[in-house]
Amino acid sequence: MQTIKISGTDDTPGVILDKENGLFQITGRSLPEDVAAFFEPILEWMAAYAEDPLEKTIFDFKLSYFNTASSKLLLDVLLNLEEMVEEGHDVTVRWYYPEDDEDMEEAGEEYADIVEVPFEQISYSLD
């Protein structure tokens, strides 16, 4: 399975989907001009991965900002992970947020309420 590595920019998140090394993460800021086009290969990769996932999947979200359009596509990523859980796979989401950013903390809490996936909320210092 081919690895996806997208370097983050001011408008697009960094993405690593690397089955071989068990590394799954979306980081940075997400406000791409065409959010559907940006997330399409990610969602396609996730669907293929769900056919034969690792024994344990830990997916890290470490976003500093995302717009409304991105929030729907992030939910689609989480719904893919939820389907894997429903099929009996071991999946954990780690939602990282800056310790002083209540909006990002609440976003993680809201996603955790929507999807049936084990969620870890992890605050970190920007220092």
Q: What is the mean pLDDT of residues 10-25?
A: 97
Q: What is the mean pLDDT of residues 72-87?
A: 97
Q: What is the mean pLDDT of residues 13-31?
A: 97
Token pair listed for 40? 């399409």
CA 122/CA 86 separation, integer angstroms: 24
DSSP 46-100: HHHHHHS--SEEEEEEEEEEE-HHHHHHHHHHHHHHHHHHHTT-EEEEEEEEETT
- Domain range list for the chain: 20-124
Torsion over CA of 71, 8, 120 and 89, rounded to 10 degrees?
Answer: 80
How confident is the model over 97-117, as pLDDT tens digits? 999 999 999 999 999 999 999
CA 58/CA 35 separation, integer angstroms: 24
Per-residue burial over 55-92, b if 16 or more Cβ lie within 10 Å, else e, is: eebbbbbbbbebeebbeebbeebbebbbbbbeeeeebe
- CA 21 to chain CA mean position, Å: 17
pTM of the predicted model as reported, rounded to 2 decimal places: 0.94
Residue 125 has what pLDDT?
A: 87
CA 105/CA 56 separation, integer angstroms: 25
